Structure 1
Amino acid sequence: MKMEDIAKLAGVSKSAVSFALSGKPGISNKTRERVLEIARENGYTPKPRLSGIEGSVKSLSFLVFTNSGIVLEEYYQQPFFRELIHFIEERCRAKGYSLLFSTINMANFDQEIVTFAEDNQSDGVILLGTNLTPIDISEIAKRLGPSLVVLDNCFDTLPVHFVGINNRMGAYQAGSHLCQLGHREIGYIASNVNLHNFEDRKDGFQEALKKYDIQILPEHHFSVAPTMLSSQEDLKTQIKAYLATGRPLPTALFCECDYIAISAMKTLTELGIRIPEDVSIIGFDNITESQIISPELTTVHVEKQRMAQLAVDLVIESIEVGQEITSKIRVDTLFVERHSSVTYKQ
């Protein structure tokens, strides 16, 4: 039996199985117990990890700081991160490296980053930087040294390797699309958690609208939790309050990520607002669920496979070749038009 088989039986990701078998944090006790029970019942024995002296096993660590912003404790079940991890694991295997998982709760940042640095036996680290600030990343880099790549974020002034998304480009594509469809009353649904990626998306979207001499009115700004795929009472309250003023809704809404877009579609539908007949909606990320929702979501595709490959290759290059000069890589986006956005008709 392989880890993949245990994952299927337990109904979890391979990453969750790895966490459970290695005793690492990052999953609930209930999930850990279920995985371990299935492993015992099927006689699964993890392969022993060879010591550094034997030198035949090379490994990278995937390090995540949870419970801050969009990255939850069970982040590996969130669609965007689940897909990203899959591609990282694939690239590591192709390059002859194993992938270890480590999770640190942001509440214990100072203590646990010291412990991780002291105990870490991997050759290099890929750090999920989605929810981290420049100060956080500077402190982590100081502890972990040069064989570190930060994934899904980018701060130009830090001497650290970054692989991120061209967020401005993606949001610019979304804004241009709505304007070209004839929409002039356009709204914006933001995350109620501030993230660097989302700030860049807002800038790119507003830049596109400015080209068409369009501004988002203050009353057309809404905000919601960025980690829910279900309808949200908070957004429902905001929309109801807006409609109570007697003003029509914007004819289109841009959402800072697909989680928000899918949640908005469900919320608006519950209020009797039709997508896209009454309101066009665009998301960002192109997670798998964007094609399951009805109507299928128009969104900005993030090339997660390319990002994963670049991150793995960059950290391996740092390990095997050595790099004094760090790199900042932003992967361009691709706009994907589906059925949640249509031409505006007066």
Structure 2
Amino acid sequence: MKMDDIARLAGVSKSAVSLALSGKPGISAETRERVLEIARESGYAPKPRAASSELPSRSLSFLVFTNAGIVLEEYYQQPFFRELIHYIEDRCRSKGYSLLFSTVNMNHFDRDIRSIAEIQQSDGVILLGTNLHPHEITEIAERLGPQLVVLDNCFDTLPLHFVAINNVMGAYQAGEHLCRSGHREIGYIASNVRIHNFDERREGFEQALRDNDLTLSPEHTFAVAPTMISSQEDLKAHLKLYLEPGRRLPTALFCECDYIAIRTLKTLTELGVRVPEQVSVVGFDNITESQIVSPELTTIHVEKKRMAQLAVDLVIESIELGEETHTKIRVDTRFIERSSTKKA
């Protein structure tokens, strides 16, 4: 069976089939699933083709498991992942490798990981581990082999390569800045979808408060959806409920990611709360949009370029040198002060 046949059976264009099989964005989840189902039933196994003889003969796969909470079906459009992928592609080109994309919906984890293992054509895999748990990463590694690096997550007990953010350090930097700026009533806006990164950020932030003789009050802790496409209404409802008895907001709020922080800025403005005059706001990730909002967002810079380079280099080292010793790398963060914070 050819791609033209799959396109005819699925009732879509050949280009849509190509996007579905490569895992790239640009089609709906329903279309992608329909194409993949037809391909599986027909035993179709796509073979990577070079557009010219000058293109690399070796390739890496960027493997993503999407869900409704953190890594969306349109993950390529999410600012953090968009930047990360850009740097991965650059590093692959500089090392003489092409980059293929594979996307799996978490609802079909078992079935689709088997399919990927059966038709795996690349020399190694960079697994985006942001939203994955240890048992899921273990199963993926067992099926796909040793030439694999997990990016944006780290579990110390798993014998695999990991490249992750130093989340504890970053959140500690945020908390330390607010404390040194004289804030004594500090709030925390968490994601209501929990991942390892967010748990580490909570740990680092609370450590900074403890080191400054402060604690995080439960009444100053809020939880909202963590993605940019989420509505601001849930956060507005939380804050309105808090303010109803005549209480004042904390003088500063730390948000577990920039997506939440940007929604917080907009929500506070709608509630008539001035930032940073009444409330300072700090985010985490330093996505490009953090400089577009008003006021510009104080945040924690994640070295996405460095993480991408390390991930590519580690998997290529495994491929070319057969290195069996695993490495776990946590890349340090930088505090970026902009105009969304001020001294208390």
Percentage of matched positions with identical amino acids: 69
Q: In the TM superposition, what whole-angstrom CA distance separates every residue of 1:100-152 from its partner, at most 9, and x where no partner exists?
A: 00000000000100110110110000000000000100000110111000000
Report the Cα offset of residue 246 of structure 1.
1.4
Check the 8 A contact 1:63/1:101 in 2, yes or no.
yes
Could you say if the C-alpha distance between residues 267 and 201 of structure 1 is closer, same or farther in structure 2, counting changes exceeding 3 Å? same
Aligned length: 313
- 1:200 corresponds to which residue? 200
Deviates more, 1:318-327 or 1:73-82: 318-327
CA distance in 1, matches of 2:315, 2:144: 12
- 2:4 corresponds to which residue? none
Deviates more, 1:224-233 or 1:237-246: 224-233
CA distance in 1, matches of 2:234, 2:180: 31
Where does 1:1-346 land on structure 2 (aligned, <5 Å)? Answer: 20-21=18-19, 23-25=21-23, 27-29=25-27, 49=49, 57-228=57-228, 232-344=232-344
CA distance in 1, matches of 2:292, 2:75: 20
Give the partner amino acid of 2:283: G
Check the 8 A contact 1:229/1:260 in 2, yes or no.
no
Report the Cα offset of residue 68 of structure 1.
4.8
Report the Cα offset of residue 69 of structure 1.
3.0
Check the 8 A contact 1:65/1:103 in 2, yes or no.
yes
Report the Cα offset of residue 245 of structure 1.
1.6
Check the 8 A contact 2:296/2:339 in 1, yes or no.
yes
Could you say if the C-alpha distance between residues 162 and 126 of structure 1 is closer, same or farther in structure 2, counting changes exceeding 3 Å? same
- 2:34 corresponds to which residue? none
Check the 8 A contact 1:229/1:263 in 2, yes or no.
no
Other structure's SS at 1:206 match: helix
Give the partner amino acid of 1:222: F
Other structure's SS at 2:22 match: coil
CA distance in 2, matches of 1:75, 1:162: 20
- 1:43 corresponds to which residue? none
Other structure's SS at 1:150 match: strand
Report the Cα offset of residue 49 of structure 1.
1.2
Check the 8 A contact 1:62/1:100 in 2, yes or no.
yes
Give the partner amino acid of 2:100: L
Check the 8 A contact 1:20/1:32 in 2, yes or no.
no
Report the Cα offset of residue 179 of structure 1.
0.1
Q: TM-score, normalised by structure 1?
A: 0.86
Deviates more, 1:165-174 or 1:62-71: 62-71
Q: TM-score, normalised by structure 2?
A: 0.87
Could you say if the C-alpha distance between residues 261 and 314 of structure 1 is closer, same or farther in structure 2, counting changes exceeding 3 Å? same
- 1:12 corresponds to which residue? none
Could you say if the C-alpha distance between residues 339 and 229 of structure 1 is closer, same or farther in structure 2, counting changes exceeding 3 Å? farther
Structure 1 gap ranges (5+): 1-16, 34-46
CA distance in 1, matches of 2:203, 2:48: 49
Deviates more, 1:274-283 or 1:224-233: 224-233
Report the Cα offset of residue 27 of structure 1.
3.1
Report the Cα offset of residue 30 of structure 1.
6.2
CA distance in 1, matches of 2:48, 2:112: 25
Report the Cα offset of residue 278 of structure 1.
0.8
Other structure's SS at 2:125 match: strand
Deviates more, 1:170-179 or 1:59-68: 59-68
CA distance in 1, matches of 2:132, 2:27: 26
Check the 8 A contact 1:231/1:264 in 2, yes or no.
no
